[in-house]
Amino acid sequence: MPALQTDQYDVSEVAELREERTRPADSCIMVIFGAAGDLTTRKLIPALYNLGKSDVLPKEFAIVGFALDELTQQQFRDKVRDDIEQFAPKPIDHTLCDWLLERLYYVRGDFRDDAKYDDLKNLLAELDERHHTPGNYLYYLAVASNFFAEIVKHLGRKQLTSEEPGRWRRVVIEKPFGSDLESAKALNREIQEVLSEKQIYRIDHYLGKETVQNILVFRFSNGIFEPIWNRRYIDHVEVTVAESLGVESRGGYYDNAGALRDMVPNHILQLVSLTAMEPPISFGADAVRDEQAKILHAIQPPTPEEVLTRAVRGQYDEGVIDGKHVPAYRAEPFVNPNSNTETFVALKLAIDNWRWADVPFYIRTGKRLPKRVTEITIQFRRAPFVLFRDTPVNKLGHNLLVMHIQPDEGISLRFGAKIPGPTVRVGPVNMDFKYVDYFGSEPSTGYERLLYDCMVGDATLFQRADMVEAGWSIVTPVLDVWRALPPRNFPNYRAGTWGPREADELMKRDGRHWREIE
């Protein structure tokens, strides 16, 4: 397949662009609550190491781990060294590793123990002196959601969230942010009693992926696409977030959450809003998020009757993936053997605004699907057929633009071209752009950009309170109907397939079908 090329930069200019230095982040101390957990081990520590490799960590920097595990400071440092050696890209830069470890500290305690926050406060004051940090603190809550409000309240009581001129305090909150609309509103109220909105960074690691960030650049920096990005030219949009893995060791959490709660209000609706939003007046954080919020508010929450025809749920049975037999969801560890929790969701969404009227957005996500892939497909309307009526061509295909989010980040475009020969025949041509081929690759966990943005105060890629609540307002009606009407046919798709047949029927009723993912 031919690769997409550009006449904007030649190879040497691309190399120069890659060498441009991003300014180092603000001097600060990062406090990780849940520092002994899997997220810290696999993502946060390797991401900080990668930022150090890119020379964007501040020289005046320290990390404080806060967790319940019985660890001494040296044991915590030894653990982090092991984490870096296991999960950071090879070869390991031991000088950088030692530099990080010298700035690594540990507080052992229960998140509910008020006295431990006094210990934390004293340690932070000591580290400000030792590492010449100016009182800037970034708190990362890598903990269960039931601790979010409690930790924030303790920090507030100890004046650890108070800001003064020249000194910032920010809190990063992982998902899930609530379990429905009412719980999300309640959590927002509790946290906002202590923090201002500009101090809150509700993180979604999907937005750390290059292709997600590139959606705005692709749409608004290329004059050939923005004029056709509307209902006049686009037939429909598909968003697929597929995982080949099952629930693994997360059965306890997942059986209470399910695919709808776990993926749609955050990851998927973020992708939808970036794809559908109007041009912002700037790339400032609130300008971008204002337009995202407008899209989320324009998505019409389904009525109970519409849930029955526009929402599909599924649960995987045993099956075969990559030649290996895998168990049914109900046989997974920590899962109720009679569970009615969905592991697959497909929805048809309607955006009630001028640009997208009558253009359906179809979304699907699930576990134990044939492959791990996340992509956004823009299917354009067919060209008028009149010109080809007296030729062998009996059907014109759709043009497709596919933004590949993972695992291979890039963009592909499919269009029709004449097949060589004496008669007029049209065949599909694919033009593929892959980030790794054109710009090379850098080690990434998906958290590097997000952590850096937290340190420099750029909230563009983080959800605001109104966005979180708008997302939950879309899915809560579905949750309510599904709670009232338990499924009768679970499990209803085999592992290694693309979900239940009802998901295909969702689009077939509209004369459409899901893009075939190879």
Of 155-164, 177-186, 398-407, 419-428, where does mean pLDDT reach its minimum?
Answer: 419-428
Say what percent of the chain tops pLDDT 90.
73
In a domain, 122, yes or no: yes
Give 312's contacts (C-beta < 8 A, 6+ positions apart). 344, 345, 346, 347, 499, 500, 502, 503, 506
CATH number for the domain that contains residue 233 = 3.30.360.10
- CA 143 → CA 33, 37, 115, 172, 426, distances in Å? 6, 8, 19, 11, 55
Helix (H) or strand (E) holding 236: strand 234-242
342 in the same domain as 230: yes
Mean pLDDT of 100-118: 96
Helix (H) or strand (E) holding 53: helix 45-53
In a domain, 72, yes or no: yes
In a domain, 517, yes or no: no
Q: What is the pLDDT of residue 382?
A: 78
Provide the domain count of the chain. Answer: 2
* Composition of the chain by helix, strand, coil, percent to 5: 40, 20, 40
Q: Is the dihedral of CA 49, 55, 58, 60 positive or negative?
A: positive
Concatenated DSSP letters for 257-288? HHHHHHHIIIIIHHHHHHHHPPPPSSSSHHHH
Q: What is the pLDDT of residue 418?
A: 66
Task: Examine the pLDDT at 216 and tell me if it is beyond 60.
Answer: yes
Q: Is the dihedral of CA 216, 222, 224, 226 positive or negative?
A: positive
Task: Examine the pLDDT at 375 and tell me if it is beyond 70.
Answer: yes
Of 49-58, 253-262, 386-395, 494-503, where does mean pLDDT reach its minimum?
Answer: 386-395
In a domain, 247, yes or no: yes
- CA 11 → CA 6, 8, 16, 54, 439, distances in Å? 10, 10, 9, 21, 9
Mean pLDDT of 58-83: 95
20 in the same domain as 161: yes
160 in the same domain as 305: no
Whole-angstrom distance, CA of residue 128 vs CA of residue 140: 18
114 in the same domain as 53: yes
Task: Examine the pLDDT at 102 and tell me if it is beyond 90.
Answer: yes
Q: What is the pLDDT of residue 209?
A: 75
Find, among 498, 512, 177, 509, the residue nearest to 346 by Cα. 498
Average pLDDT over all residues of the chain: 89
252 in the same domain as 322: yes
Q: What is the pLDDT of residue 441?
A: 67
Whole-angstrom distance, CA of residue 18 vs CA of residue 4: 19
Omega prior to 407 cis, within 30 of 0: yes
Task: Examine the pLDDT at 198 and tell me if it is beyond 90.
Answer: yes
87 in the same domain as 170: yes
258 in the same domain as 151: no
Q: In the block, which residue shows the tokens 């105060």?
A: 457
In a domain, 373, yes or no: yes
Mean pLDDT of 416-432: 71
Mean pLDDT of 3-16: 44
Whole-angstrom distance, CA of residue 24 vs CA of residue 45: 18
329 in the same domain as 233: yes
Q: 10 falls in which pLDDT band (50, 70, 90)?
A: very low
Concatenated DSSP letters for 429-476? EEEEEEHHHHH------S-HHHHHHHHHT--TTSB-HHHHHHHHHHHH
Of 20-34, 152-166, 385-399, 483-497, where does mean pLDDT reach its minimum?
Answer: 385-399
Whole-angstrom distance, CA of residue 261 vs CA of residue 358: 26
Amino acid letter at 17?
L
Amino acid letter at 234?
I
- CA 211 → CA 270, 407, 448, distances in Å? 13, 10, 14
222 in the same domain as 95: no
User: Within 13 A of 464's CA, how many CA atoms are on the CB side?
Assistant: 19
Task: Examine the pLDDT at 238 and tell me if it is beyond 50.
Answer: yes
Task: Examine the pLDDT at 420 and tell me if it is beyond 80.
Answer: no
359 in the same domain as 235: yes
Whole-angstrom distance, CA of residue 382 vs CA of residue 398: 5
Q: Which of 174, 194, 220 is the last residue of a domain?
A: 174
Whole-angstrom distance, CA of residue 368 vs CA of residue 404: 19
CATH number for the domain that contains residue 44 = 3.40.50.720
In a domain, 318, yes or no: yes
- CA 278 → CA 220, 292, 295, distances in Å? 10, 8, 8
Of 81-90, 306-315, 419-428, where does mean pLDDT reach its minimum?
Answer: 419-428
Q: What is the pLDDT of residue 20?
A: 46
Q: What is the pLDDT of residue 182?
A: 95
Q: 9 falls in which pLDDT band (50, 70, 90)?
A: very low
284 in the same domain as 159: no
In a domain, 183, yes or no: no
β-sheet bridge partners, residue 43:
none
Helix (H) or strand (E) holding 55: none
Say what percent of the chain tops pLDDT 70.
90
Whole-angstrom distance, CA of residue 380 vs CA of residue 21: 39
For 215, other C-beta atoms within 10 Å of its C-beta total 19
Q: What is the pLDDT of residue 389?
A: 58
- Residues composing the chain: 518
Task: Examine the pLDDT at 148 and tell me if it is beyond 60.
Answer: yes
Core vs surface per residue 411-423: b (16+ CB within 10 A) or e: bbbbebeeeeeee
Task: Examine the pLDDT at 500 and tell me if it is beyond 90.
Answer: yes
Whole-angstrom distance, CA of residue 227 vs CA of residue 6: 20
Report the SS3 class of residue 208: helix
Task: Examine the pLDDT at 3 and tell me if it is beyond 60.
Answer: no
In a domain, 415, yes or no: no
358 in the same domain as 237: yes
Chain CA centroid to CA 109, Å: 31
Report the SS3 class of residue 241: strand
Q: pTM of the full predicted structure? A: 0.89
Mean pLDDT of 372-381: 94
Find, among 132, 104, 131, the residue nearest to 40 by Cα. 104
Q: What is the pLDDT of residue 7?
A: 43
- The range of the structural domain enclosing residue 107 comes to 11-174
Residues tagged active-site: 267
Find, among 207, 272, 221, 289, the residue nearest to 460 by Cα. 289
Q: Which two tokens stand for residue 52?
A: 């150090």
Concatenated DSSP letters for 101-152? HHTEEEEE--TT-HHHHHHHHHHHHHHHHHHT--S-EEEEE-S-GGGHHHHH
Paired sense of beta strands 324-326 and 319-321, if any: antiparallel
Q: Which residue has the higher pLDDT, 398 or 322?
A: 322
Find, among 468, 508, 495, 477, the residue nearest to 366 by Cα. 495
